[in-house]
Every structure is written in C-alpha cells, then in structure tokens.
Structure 1
Amino acid sequence: MGNPKMRTEKDLLGSMQIPMDHLYGIQTQRAADNFQFSPYKLSTYPRFIEAMAITKKAAAMANHELNELPEDVFKAICRACDEIREGELRDQFCIDMFQGGAGTSANMNANEVIANRALEILGYEHGDYKHCDPHDHVNLSQSTNDAYPTFAHIGLYLTFLDLTPHLDELIKSLRKKAKEFRGMLKIGRTQLQDAVPMTHEQTFNGFASILEEEIPNLEHAAKQFLVLNMGSTAIGTGICSQPGYREAVIKAFRKITEWDIKPTKDYVGATSDTSHMVGYSAALKRLAVKLSKISNDLRLLSSGPFAGLGDISLPARQPGSSIMPGKVNPVIPEVITQIAMKVIGNDVCVTMAGEAAQLELNAMEPIMVQCCFESSDLLMRAMDTLRELCIDGIKANAEHTRKQVYDSLSIVTALNPYIGYDNSTLLTQEAQASGRSIVDLVLEKGILSKEQLDEILDPDNLTQPVRLDIKPLKSVE
C-alpha cells in the first residue's frame, strides 16, 4: 500500500512525523509511545469521550461569548464536539487510561482531535494550526487541571444515569420472584444454623429492599459530580482566563446538558480534591458488597442438590465438572461475587489515589477515573447477568422447605408464646433424643389440637408479629 503521507508537528521536545490522516497530533503520539500498560484506552469508555466533547464545547461557548474565539473557529469546534458526542472519531482517542501528567495526555488528545477535525470543517489540512490550534483555540481559558476532572465528573454522571436502570430492573426481578413465592415456607438461618420459619417471598423481598437502599445513596454520591472547577485553570487562581469566564462556562454546561451544574465554592481547594470520585467509588462498593451477599446466599440456598440446603434451584447454565458427570455449578452467582471483589479492589485503589494528592493537584486522577468507569461498567453487566441468567429462572423447592420447617426443632419457637418456655424446652429435648418432630410430639401428647397447630403454623401467622387466642390443652408430661 506504500508509505502513508506524513506531516511534521513540533513541540517543546522537538519534532515528530504524524500520519496525515490522523486527527491526533504530536502530544497524543508521545503519550501513546510512553504509556503502554493496559487494554484500557480512552475510547474504552464512550461516556468519558462524550464528556470530553461536552467540556470542550462548553469552553468554546464561553470563550465565544467573551469574544475570545472567532465565529468560524467557534462553529467548527462546536461541530467537531457534536460529532464526537454522537459517537464519531472514537478511534482517534487511542492513549492508555493509565498515564502520568495528571491527565494532560488525555486533555491534549481531545484538543488535537477537535482542532484537526475543525480544520477539516474549515477547509484546511490537518496540522495547519494557525487556523485552529489545540492550545490557543480548543484549550483556550483551560488547563488540564480543570478540564480533566470535568471530563471525569461529566462522564461519571452520565455513567450513573446509565447504571440506575440496570439496578431498577434487577430489583423488579427480585420483587416479581418474591410474589411468585408467596406463602412458601422455609427455614430462616442465623450463623448457618436453623433459626425460625419465614417464607421464600420474604427472602427475595429482602434482597430487593437492600438493593433499593442503594439508589438514593448512589444519587447522593453522583450529584457531587455536578459541581465543577472549570475556570480554575492551573491551580485554581484562574490565570489565563478572562473575567466572567467562570460564570459563562457554567452557563454553557447547563445549556448543553440541562443539568443543575454548579461552580465550586473554592477553586483552589477543588483543583486538588478528588473526594467526589472517592465518594462515588464507595457507593459502587456498597452496591457490590450487597450483590455479593445476595449471590453467596443464592449459592448456599441452592447447595446440594441432595446433600445441601436445597431450598431453591438455580437455572442450569453449563456442565459443572470435567470429571463428575451431571454436576452443575452455580456459575452465575460465583462470577457476580468475583465482579464484586474487583469493584471492592478498585475502591481501595481509588481511596489510595485520592489520599495521594499533593499541594495544588492530585496527579493520580487517571487511575481513579479508570477504576470508577470500570466498576460502573462491571456492575451494569453483573446486574443484567444476575437478573437474566439466574434470578428470573429460580425455582423454589416448596415441598422440601415446608417439610424442613415442620421437621426442624426451631419450630418450637413459634409454639413458645402459647405453651410456654419450659414446655418448649422439654419438647425440644425429647425431640432431640427420639429423633421425632416437634409437631408429631405436640399432637401425640395432646398439647395442642391439630386445628390449633395449623393456625399457629399458617404462613401468614408464622412469619410476622401476631398473637393468637390459643390456650394449650395440657402441659408436656
């Protein structure tokens, strides 16, 4: 095919040949050469790229309002940003998410791509920066130190809006399953030992409820992203920006996003503070912990199927052993727990990076951004997988669990209010010694009639606070 046509670009370190058809320039190429650590490129996270375009368009709108950008350049930059928001040019955002320089490489990647696309729109060749320059036009009134955290804030808020519907759908699935299991008795367990009776419905409603609690927690954490430090420039003093720029750029963000975006109260403090990402990562971790708890419970409740608890049956998804014919493993809950572990690990990383801020900047922001985006994406996929491949297909082994309730010594707890603690203790001791059930002993000894016992053991009476008007016919002999 021959050698591609090249252009020469220069920076403070010298010159470099860049393929003419590439929209990115010399600083992006240096970053691509320097940072080769992971498969996670800027383009891996489309919401991050979209946030870059929103940020650069808002800056252009503010600069244009202040008469800092020529009309034609302003329109070309805005058009380039709109195209990126719509999903175009993603392949030009090619550098590693892990990078030194506190995000300077990512910011310059955006500046160069937008500048060169604007040059195309204006009718000039790539690299002809006297007409639209990555620094003097696209990065006007900005520094990486306000643009990059704004990319993160806007992108992660977009990701939060993506995440909540996945959580809502999982909760609905659990509620639907609970309704399906209404009235089906099972044994509750504490410390992995028999406790008192409950229903499968209560178990699955419990799962749904603890996840519902995470919606307002995530919302509270995500709303912190709507506070921006745009206008800080290098360290928060606003050097190289015009008076009125801070107000104009916030107004532009509000117009573009229709969100209630606010400026930070202290630009110097905000420029080195990454606590919004720390808080959001912690909220993701809380969700991950609960998903893992639910998944581990599903593994325990479905254990067996003959030598375990066997309360429920999970849908079979694949053969479970290369040596044991017929074995089926709870692979979906197992993988969800592993995803949760990864999210928890990411949160540790975010916490450490947040703590590593020094003086007027936190140079560790790039790894915080990657971890937050990765955790969000993993959790969305995890919740969909858990719902579609596990929850929706669960069956309750109702007859098995009802028999467990009636055969369990813990059933005596339900009788205690009516026959007394001492009688309950004597029944338990005899049942343990004889291997017979509490129910059989109560009926055999005539302590309660079958009608009385059936009323006490009715699922609606057995699984909620209630006091029936029942008196024992006699004491334990």
Structure 2
Amino acid sequence: MSYRVEKDLLGEREIPREAYYGIHTLRAKENFAVSGIPVHRELIWALALVKKAAALANMEIGLLEPRIAGAIVQAAEELARGQWHDQIVVDAFQGGAGTSTNMNVNEVIANRAIEILGGTKGDYSLVHPLDHVNLGQSTNDVYPTALRVAAIKLVRELSQAMAVLQGALQAKEKEFASILKIGRTQLQDAVPVTLGQEFGAYAEAVARDWWRLYKAEERLRQVNLGGTAVGTGLNASRRYIFRVVEILRELTGFGLARAENTVEATQNADIFAEVSGFVKTAAVNLAKIAGDLRLLSSGPRAGLGEIVLPKVQAGSSIMPGKVNPVIPEMVTQVAYQVMAGDVAINMAAASGQLELNAFLPLIAHNLLHSLEMMTGAARLLAEKCVRGIQADEARCRQLLEASQGVITAFAPYLGYEKATAMVLRAARSGRPVTELLVEEGLFTREEIEAILKPEELTTPGVAGVRHLKRFLTREGDKP
C-alpha cells in the first residue's frame, strides 16, 4: 500500500494514498477505537447537506470561488447519496463534541472535491478541509444542526410507522367489536369487555404517540448554524449566517429557522432529551401492547389462547410444532433498548458544561438509533403481527362463561353480599354462576341473556335494566 504524508499540530502521519479521509480522521480513528459502531448514516447525510448549504452560501456572498464551491457541492451531494460512507471511519463514541465526525466529513469532501478538480488527494492547496469546506463554521454549530436535521427525518418516518400501526389496530377494533370476553385486572378475572374494546385502547395509545411525535418536529426546527464556536457567530460573515439557514431549509424541505438565541442553542441539549422522551413513551406503549398480545395468545392450549397470532417462523429446535410470538418479543426488546437509550440521552444532556455539551455523539447515537429501531418495530408489528391476528371466539366465550367475574353485572340486583355468596358457591361446586342464579330462581334464563348481551355489559349503566321490568323502581332505570 502506498501512502501520502499529511501534517497537523502534532506532527506528520502517513495516510493511505487512496483514502479520502486525512490526518485528523486517522488520529480520531486510532484514539476512539472503542465500539466498532459507525456514525449513523442519517447524521452523515445531514452533515453533507450542511456542508453543501455552507458552500453555496459562501459562494453567493463571494467568500468561495465558484470553481471550488462547485466541487465541494458535488462532493457533498455524493456523500449525501451514500457514496464515500466507507470513508467515514471514526467511531460513533468519541470525545470532542463531534469534532472528529465533522473533520472526517470535511476531509472526505475536500479530497473528493480535489479529485473533481483534477488534483491529487491531500493537495489541500486546491481545496482545504478547514479553510474551504468548514468556512464560517464550527463543529459546535454544524454538528447540533445536522443532528436536528437527521432527527426530523427519522421522526417523520416514525410518525408514519405509528400511523400505520394505529390503522391496523383500529381495523381489528372494528373486526372484533362483537366478540365478548372476560376482562382482567391484575391478571385476575374482572368484568366483561369486547375484544374490540381492547384493541381500540391500543389504537388510542398509539394515536397519542403519533401526535406527540408529530409535534416533536417543532422542537427540532430551531438550529444554531451560524453561531460557530459558542453561538456568538465569531468568524462567520453576517450575510452568511442568515443565508446558510435559508439554503439548508430549501435543501431539506424542513421548516428550519435560525434559533433566536444561538448561544443558548449551542449550550443546551434539552431539546434532544425532550424528543427522546416522546420516543421512550412510544416504546412504553409498544412494550405494553406486545406484552398483551403475548399473553392473550398464550398456550395455545394451556394458556389464554383468546387470539391467534400469525405464524411467521418455527419456534423451537427441540419441540416440533411449537410457534413463538417472535414479533411481539422483538418489539419488547426494541422498546427496552429505547428506554435504556433515553437514560443515556438524559445523562448526556445533563452533563453539558458552560458553552457546550461535549457528549453530543452519545446523544446522536442513541436518539437516531432509537428512532430507527422504533420505526422498524412499529411497521413490523403492524405488518407481520396485528394485521394477521385472528380471534378465537369460542375460547373467549368459554373463558367468559367459566369466569365468576360476570357476577358483577348481577350485583346491582342482588346486592354485594348476596353476589359474593353466589361466587363462593360457584367456586365450591365448579358450576357456572349463571346456572346457579337460574337454579335458585333469582333470574330467568331470558333475564340472564338480557343482562349478558355485549352491548349491555360494555357500555355505561346497569346491564339489562331496561329489559328487566320487575326490577325497575319509580326512580327510573335503577334496579
């Protein structure tokens, strides 16, 4: 392998001749060889767009020659499309508040621009990573801005995925609207509900998540680009400062605006903690839904078995015929990872000091990966699980009839003490409580059927009272 020699303030180093990165990246690659996890591709995309916007703004105001600016723009566009990502070699976990990532991008764009102009990589007299690609910028305004842009893109994708999941759950709410089953509180028999009501509750929770995520984009639109090192805009042209955000807004199609207080926007990372909180809350709801689906489908013979999940793969290397709820299990694991990431984001956001937060790489890694994982989890839950769920109506009816929870519907007629006595008798005899109510002449079968209608048991009011005239009082529909 042949090498070129580059210099920095620490001395000289040999760089592989064909590499697009330079000496700053090489040192960072060696210093932060910790996880092997690359910088998130959407952050690279966003950084490339920031560099393109900066080059265009600097060209417009006469600080960059059109020839140099054009080469930088072309190189940045290629990087944004996914080319040269193999040249972004720094680890996701790095000191320096993202400086190593910014320098890696600067060097790759500079060397590709040099190549476009017919030069040789490393000849920074043609295009310099700092004097040209990083002109009017600092890591401290470039990196947070790019993180906001990348997060907006992924928040939009997650919002769409949650909307798809909401629709799938609402379809099941409608499909299962007439299937009566026993409800459960604290995993014990409670009062009847419909299976549709359970799925409707899931849909409503996901709808709240969708709304939170939709509004989260507003939190991310205020960028500190143009603030340079600490938000004061030192070494950046006033014309550049106002123009560069306009160009970035045009390039992304996002409603970006320059932060009113760029010093504050450079200091603080609470916005990322807030957005992460929305993502974490969505993860909490997905974990709850996934857990319920596993429980409701458990068995199928020795568990609840009220619903049947789609069979997507064989479940055991030793037990023939076993099929596991692998999609809800995957969703649960994603949710737990997102919750853990939220803790890391909160700690990192709280650890910023004075004019800068040095831990933005940790925030970027966890936030962007959480958004991406949640998008995949929500889509797969909808496509490979929820849409194919079937109800075992006979099993729902069997468990409902065997449960003593239905006695609650008769308590307004019997009184609490007498209803309790009927439950105890049913438990001792192993017979359905409704059968004992008929046997003791407390209700006719027709009256029990009137009380146990799905629309009576699952809507406000005393079940069946409109049909049981002998229980009516002068006060109206109270038994």
Q: TM-score, normalised by structure 2?
A: 0.93
- The match for 1:435 is 430
Q: Deviation per CA, 1:276-300, whole angstroms, max 9, x where unpaired? A: 1111111111111111111111122
In structure 1, distance between residues paired with 2:64 and 2:83: 24
Say whether 1:384 aligns with 2:384.
no
Q: 1:23 aligns with which of 17, 20, 24?
A: 20
Farther-moved stretch of structure 1 (279-288 vs 177-186): 177-186
Please report how far the alpha carbon of residue 202 of structure 1 lies from its aligned counterpart in structure 2 after TM superposition.
0.9
- The match for 1:66 is 61
- The size of the alignment, in residue pairs, is 470
Please report how far the alpha carbon of residue 326 of structure 1 lies from its aligned counterpart in structure 2 after TM superposition.
4.1
- The match for 1:40 is 37
In structure 2, distance between residues paired with 1:234 and 1:166: 37
Say whether 1:416 aligns with 2:411.
yes
Please report how far the alpha carbon of residue 330 of structure 1 lies from its aligned counterpart in structure 2 after TM superposition.
2.4
- The match for 1:293 is 288
In structure 1, distance between residues paired with 2:348 and 2:67: 41
SS of corresponding position for 1:213:
helix
Q: TM-score, normalised by structure 1?
A: 0.93
Please report how far the alpha carbon of residue 395 of structure 1 lies from its aligned counterpart in structure 2 after TM superposition.
2.1
Partner AA of 1:39 in structure 2: G
Q: 1:190 aligns with which of 176, 185, 188?
A: 185
- The match for 2:198 is 203
In structure 2, distance between residues paired with 1:162 and 1:331: 23
Say whether 1:241 aligns with 2:245.
no
Partner AA of 2:141 in structure 1: D
- The match for 1:338 is 333
In structure 2, distance between residues paired with 1:79 and 1:352: 38
- The match for 1:397 is 392
Q: Deviation per CA, 1:166-196, whole angstroms, max 9, x where unpaired? A: 2222222222222222211111111111111
In structure 1, distance between residues paired with 2:240 and 2:436: 83
In structure 2, distance between residues paired with 1:386 and 1:319: 18
In structure 2, distance between residues paired with 1:270 and 1:450: 70
SS of corresponding position for 1:110:
helix
Farther-moved stretch of structure 1 (200-209 vs 165-174): 165-174
Say whether 1:140 aligns with 2:135.
yes
Q: Deviation per CA, 1:294-353, whole angstroms, max 9, x where unpaired? A: 111112212222332222222334444455444433232222212211111111111111
Q: 2:307 aligns with which of 301, 306, 312?
A: 312
Q: Deviation per CA, 1:401-451, whole angstroms, max 9, x where unpaired? A: 112222321112222344544553443343233322122123233333333
- The match for 1:460 is 455
In structure 2, distance between residues paired with 1:315 and 1:10: 60
In structure 1, distance between residues paired with 2:35 and 2:127: 32
Partner AA of 1:22 in structure 2: A
Say whether 1:81 aligns with 2:76.
yes
* Contact 1:93-1:109 at 8 Å conserved across structures: yes
Farther-moved stretch of structure 1 (334-343 vs 462-471): 462-471
- The match for 2:350 is 355
Farther-moved stretch of structure 1 (198-207 vs 454-463): 454-463
* Contact 1:446-1:474 at 8 Å conserved across structures: no
RMSD across aligned positions (CA): 2.0
Name stretches of at least 5 consecutive residues in structure 1 with no aligned partner. none
In structure 2, distance between residues paired with 1:425 and 1:288: 40
Name stretches of at least 5 consecutive residues in structure 2 with no aligned partner. 473-479
Q: 1:121 aligns with which of 110, 116, 121?
A: 116
Please report how far the alpha carbon of residue 272 of structure 1 lies from its aligned counterpart in structure 2 after TM superposition.
1.7
Q: Deviation per CA, 1:236-266, whole angstroms, max 9, x where unpaired? A: 1211111232211121122212322111122
